[in-house]
Amino acid sequence: MLFNSLDFVIFFSIVLAVIVIIKNRSFQHLWLLGASYFFFYYTSNYLVSLLIISTLLDFYVGKAIWKTNDIKHKKILLTISLAGNLGLLGFFKYADFSISQFNLLGNYFGFNEIPFLNLALPIGISFYTFQTISYTVDIYRGKLTPSKTLKEFALFVTFFPQLVAGPIVRASTFLPQLREKMDSINTTGKLRQIILQNSNLKFGITLMAFGFFKKMFFADNIAPLVNDIFASPIGSESFTIILGAIGFGVQIYSDFSGYSDIAIGAALVMGFKFPLNFNKPYFAISPSDFWRRWHISLSSWLRDYLYIPLGGSKKSNNRTYFNLATVMFLGGLWHGASWNFVVWGMLHGSYLVIHRFLKQKFPILSNNYFFKTWPGKIFSIFITQYLVFLAWITFRVENFDHLVYSVEKYVILDFQTTKTLEVIIDHKLEIIILILFFVLHFISYKKIELKDKISNLRLPYWFLFLLGTIIVILLFYDGNPIDFVYFKF
Amino acid sequence: MAIRIAIAVLSALVLALLVIYLVNESYASQFEYQNMEKWEKRFYTQNFDPEQKKIFLIGSSHTEKSDTIFIEKSLMEQSYDYEVYNLAYMGSQPATRVSSIDLIIQTKPDLVVYGLEFLSFWPHPLSGSSQSLETVKQNTESLLPEPKELFSNVTQDWESNFIDFENFKNPKLTTLKIIDVIRGEHKFQYQGGKHPFGPYGPDRVMTYEELQKNVEEFPFLHFVDNDSKHIDAMKKMIKKFQENNIPVIIFTTPHHELYLKTISEQDKKNYFLIIDSLVKEFGIKHYDFHDRYSDLETWANGDHIAGISIGSMAYSEDIVEIIIKEINQ
């Protein structure tokens, strides 16, 4: 079910209405669980069975890990959980990709081709798999007590706002909120009653309005420019490619952070606080700063469950570089079964490695006064974003020829403008929206508490904010709800 | 307080929808094909010079891409003095065109050249009657009941029984046109001239790669049963033209080779069977251009030749040729 559809508006209204009317704790949680399964079933039909399998596996394995004191036994159980989760993810997401790569090699050596499995990709599998992995790993590490009931755990896995495209929520964040003592992991074990609180309601709806605006006004209206440029980039001028890269960067940010805002807002309306997933990434001043601001729930997951277990930065420099590159390579692959994402991940890996190397070799650079001044910060932002948008090209292009051509044009400027001007004239609206995005992005960067301020407006002014936002969204809505980009991951 | 917040959200939603609905209702009816009935009336009831001979080109947007200025000039060079009007417009099908048949006859054209295409006798893809390949695929892949279908059935029922959503389906289109009007780049008013119902001007020529992508995105890869109302309407029009001594010829409009590949051989065969029956029943001429320029680099998309391009010139030349053949008979 798309957030940006009438279906969701009706679905969400019904879910809330029932929660408000029937104030029975047990019923409320069952109702939320049922609604979440319905939400997934609505989009994915029989693939809901995978979600159920994953839930059952990790609930019982988690319990077993907690109960046993034998380290060896714990390790075996954790391996079962990892193999089950990664097996499902690998099979459904990467089987056909692996077959195609095997067939490519096989052709070279004269082997017979293996037929494709043509499996349907279960929506959200990358997200809920990572959530369940974090659950069993945290229990293994002794950082988390397992869920007391299957209902509680199932609700953590399937909770509909974050089910399909994140943010990747940890059990240690979610489960205490389900129980009575919200501020502590050591809870009484009773599930709390869900009460719609005014402050949560207003802030949650404000966040949702921001999310819808990002997705439906910015992302969907910039998409035609990006599609036009990257449908056949060969022959395009450098400035056209740069425009396409910037356009795609803004599109994917507005799309994904818009989804996150709606998810976080919808959860908050029901009283669940999710962590921030984006923090103005296009104002990052270094590659590592970018990853502290972009898809924060994924980068922190990769840090805690991959980078640190690999040794993090505690071992030799070379090992740290290797760890960074490996994490980013796997992070790229997590996005999808395509070389685009692998190259994208590797590029970001190389940025992190080079940045770290330069910082260590030339500490004078990072301590230089210039980088603490405004011009220095602008310079750092410019360099970082130049690299980030270069990487977005690898994410967006459709084949290898397009990739080589586009990257070459992006890096080696031809200073031609004739065709770029034609593109701009053909896409005036998209260009204006792109400029508007950067203006608003800058305002939100300078005024960090913008969402808070809006949600604290007096009701008549807040109503006007909502009305204006909805009108602008609808005025530029073309009648076709477009999938969120991250749905396919 | 929570109730007041809920009321504020609901009111904002309802008020916003109302504003959009009113904007669309007020302006959308003045746009292009949505107001074709009014525009046709204005065109056909103008004062034509009774001494001046006239040729009408009729059809959909595929016929729109022939250049009346070029056709007139070419005819004049061969001493045929005719005013040529291209009365094609986007989405025109026989069952819609038949409503203006009496108006056309009133103006007494000396020749009607009617462009038909593979989709002419099928429910129009924009009407939503045909299914995209994606939808067909999705439906066959579902193993359990689809709640999505149930929901869309309910909303379709609302649409057909209670509310007319027609002008509300693409508010962006209306907004962009209003912006164009404010900037003086678009006129709501009827333009008149030789292409009164659809502007004729230069279009960007797509590369082969772009065409491949464009054709892949066609929403009408899967034809459904042909629609007898279009065949009946076509017959009615030809009969009326002949009863009023207005000669009529038909031709099949051109398409790119990639587009043609998306149409099954059976669908093509069915189309030509209908054309054959029209030719036999009324003794009219049919000219087939369906694949004539299919390999030229002249396409604005898979089924439209780019305006003012080598293809549109060749297309117009061929139309000149069939007009002269008909006049000389």
| CA-based end-to-end distance of chain A | 15
Taking CB atoms and an 8 Å limit, are A470 and B155 in contact across chains? Answer: no
Q: Which long-range contacts (CB under 8 A, 24 or more apart) does B301-305 make?
A: B301/B206, B301/B211, B301/B214, B301/B256, B302/B211, B302/B214, B302/B215, B302/B218, B302/B255, B302/B256, B302/B258, B302/B259, B302/B262, B303/B62, B303/B117, B303/B255, B303/B256, B303/B259, B304/B61, B304/B62, B304/B65, B304/B203, B305/B65, B305/B254
pLDDT at A191: 61
Whether A445 has a pLDDT exceeding 70, the answer reads yes
Percentage above 90 pLDDT, chain A:
40
Q: How much of chain A is helix, strand and coil, in % rounded to 5?
A: 75, 0, 25
CA B285 from centroid of its chain's CA atoms: 22
Taking CB atoms and an 8 Å limit, are B171 and A471 in contact across chains? Answer: no
Taking the Cβ of residue A461 and every Cβ of chain B, the question of whether any pair is shorter than 8 Å is answered with no
pLDDT at A133: 92
Whether A469 has a pLDDT exceeding 60, the answer reads yes
pLDDT at B276: 92
Alpha-carbon dihedral angle through residues A25, A27, A29, A35, given to the nearest 10 degrees: -150
Taking CB atoms and an 8 Å limit, are A202 and B171 in contact across chains? Answer: no
CB atoms within 10 A of CB A368: 12
State how beta strands B299-301 and B304-305 pair: antiparallel
- As a whole number of angstroms, the distance between CA A102 and CA A94 comes to 12
Q: What is the pLDDT of residues A247-273, one digit of tens each?
A: 999 999 999 999 999 999 999 888 888
Question: pLDDT grade, residue A180 (50/70/90)?
Answer: low
Tell me B85's DSSP state. Answer: E
Taking the Cβ of residue A466 and every Cβ of chain B, the question of whether any pair is shorter than 8 Å is answered with yes
As a whole number of Å, the CA-based R_g of chain A is 23
Residues of A labelled catalytic:
335
- b/e per residue, A333-346, with b = 16+ CB within 10 A? bbbbbebbbbbbbb
Whether A169 has a pLDDT exceeding 60, the answer reads yes
pLDDT at B138: 45
Mean pLDDT calculated for residue range A123-133: 87
As a whole number of Å, the CA-based R_g of chain B is 22
Taking CB atoms and an 8 Å limit, are B20 and A475 in contact across chains? Answer: yes
The mean of the pLDDT values for chain A is 86
Whether B124 has a pLDDT exceeding 70, the answer reads no
pLDDT at B31: 58
Q: Which of A112-121, A219-228, A275-284, A457-466 has the lowest mean pLDDT?
A: A112-121
Say if residue A167 is preceded by a cis peptide, omega within 30 of 0: yes
Q: What is the pLDDT of residues B207-232, one digit of tens each?
A: 888 888 777 766 544 444 555 778 88
Nearest by CB to residue A479, choosing from B17, B19, B170, is B170
CA A375 from centroid of its chain's CA atoms: 31
B184: left (phi over 0), alpha (psi -120 to 50) or beta: left
Question: pLDDT grade, residue A231 (50/70/90)?
Answer: confident
- As a whole number of angstroms, the distance between CA B9 and CA B15 comes to 10
Nearest to A132 by CA among A185, A161, A95, A175: A175
B17 touches A474 (CB < 8 A): yes
What residue spans of A303-373 are helical by DSSP H?
A: 317-335, 339-361, 363-366
A4 touches A212 (CB < 8 A): yes
Please name the residue of chain B whose CA is at the shortest distance from the CA of residue A472: B16
pLDDT at A253: 94
Nearest by CB to residue B19, choosing from A42, A235, A471, is A471
Nearest by CB to residue B4, choosing from A20, A41, A459, is A459
Q: Which amino acid is at B312?
A: S
Whether A225 has a pLDDT exceeding 60, the answer reads yes
- As a whole number of angstroms, the distance between CA B135 and CA A5 comes to 17
Chain B residue numbers touching A232 (CB-CB < 8 A): 207, 209-210, 213
Chain B residue numbers touching A205 (CB-CB < 8 A): 5, 9
Taking CB atoms and an 8 Å limit, are A479 and B23 in contact across chains? Answer: no
Nearest to A291 by CA among A275, A303, A308, A273: A303
Any residues with CB less than 8 A from the CB of A318 and at least 6 apart, and which?
A: none
Q: What is the pLDDT of residues A356-382, one digit of tens each?
A: 998 888 888 777 777 778 888 899 999
Taking CB atoms and an 8 Å limit, are A231 and B144 in contact across chains? Answer: no
Q: Which amino acid is at A484?
A: F
Return the bridge partners of B113, or none: B57, B249
Q: Which of A70-74, B40-44, B66-70, B226-230 has the lowest mean pLDDT?
A: B226-230
| CA-based end-to-end distance of chain B | 83
Nearest by CB to residue B143, choosing from A45, A475, A477, is A45
Q: What is the pLDDT of residues A299-342, one digit of tens each?
A: 999 999 999 998 888 888 889 999 999 999 998 888 877 888 88
Whether B97 has a pLDDT exceeding 80, the answer reads yes
Q: Which amino acid is at A199?
A: S
Mean pLDDT calculated for residue range A20-44: 86
Taking the Cβ of residue B11 and every Cβ of chain A, the question of whether any pair is shorter than 8 Å is answered with yes
Q: Hey, which residues 136-195 in chain B have their CB within 8 Å of chain A? A: 141-144, 146-148, 151, 155, 169-173, 175-176, 179
Taking CB atoms and an 8 Å limit, are A459 and B148 in contact across chains? Answer: no
Taking the Cβ of residue B126 and every Cβ of chain A, the question of whether any pair is shorter than 8 Å is answered with no
Six token digits for residue A46: 């029989």
Question: pLDDT grade, residue B185 (50/70/90)?
Answer: low
What phi, psi does B156 have (nearest 5°)? Answer: -65, -35
- As a whole number of angstroms, the distance between CA B230 and CA B270 comes to 14
Taking CB atoms and an 8 Å limit, are B15 and A45 in contact across chains? Answer: no
Whether A442 has a pLDDT exceeding 70, the answer reads yes
- As a whole number of angstroms, the distance between CA A438 and CA A451 comes to 17
Q: At what angle do helices A428-446 and A418-426 cross, to 10 degrees?
A: 80
- b/e per residue, A223-258, with b = 16+ CB within 10 A? bebbebbbbbbeebbbbbbbbbbbbbbbbbbbbbbb
Q: Which stretch, A73-82, B12-21, B62-71, B93-102, has highest mean pLDDT?
A: A73-82
Mean pLDDT calculated for residue range B49-60: 90
Whether A94 has a pLDDT exceeding 50, the answer reads yes
pLDDT at B133: 35
- As a whole number of angstroms, the distance between CA A279 and CA B144 comes to 40
Mean pLDDT calculated for residue range A124-151: 89
Shortest distance between the Cα of B12 and any Cα of chain A, in A, equals 5
CA B143 from centroid of its chain's CA atoms: 38
Nearest by CB to residue A477, choosing from B4, B172, B204, is B172
Mean pLDDT calculated for residue range B122-141: 43
Whether B18 has a pLDDT exceeding 80, the answer reads yes
User: Model-level pTM?
Assistant: 0.72
Chain B residue numbers touching A196 (CB-CB < 8 A): 2
Q: Three-state SS for A149?
A: coil
Any residues with CB less than 8 A from the CB of B153 and at least 6 apart, and which?
A: none
Taking the Cβ of residue A52 and every Cβ of chain B, the question of whether any pair is shorter than 8 Å is answered with no
Whether A20 has a pLDDT exceeding 60, the answer reads yes
- As a whole number of angstroms, the distance between CA A189 and CA A102 comes to 50
Taking CB atoms and an 8 Å limit, are A232 and B213 in contact across chains? Answer: yes
Taking CB atoms and an 8 Å limit, are A198 and B19 in contact across chains? Answer: no
CA A468 from centroid of its chain's CA atoms: 28
B236 touches B98 (CB < 8 A): yes
B282 touches B238 (CB < 8 A): yes
Q: Hey, which residues 94-123 in chain A have their CB within 8 Å of chain B? A: 120
Question: pLDDT grade, residue A55 (50/70/90)?
Answer: very high
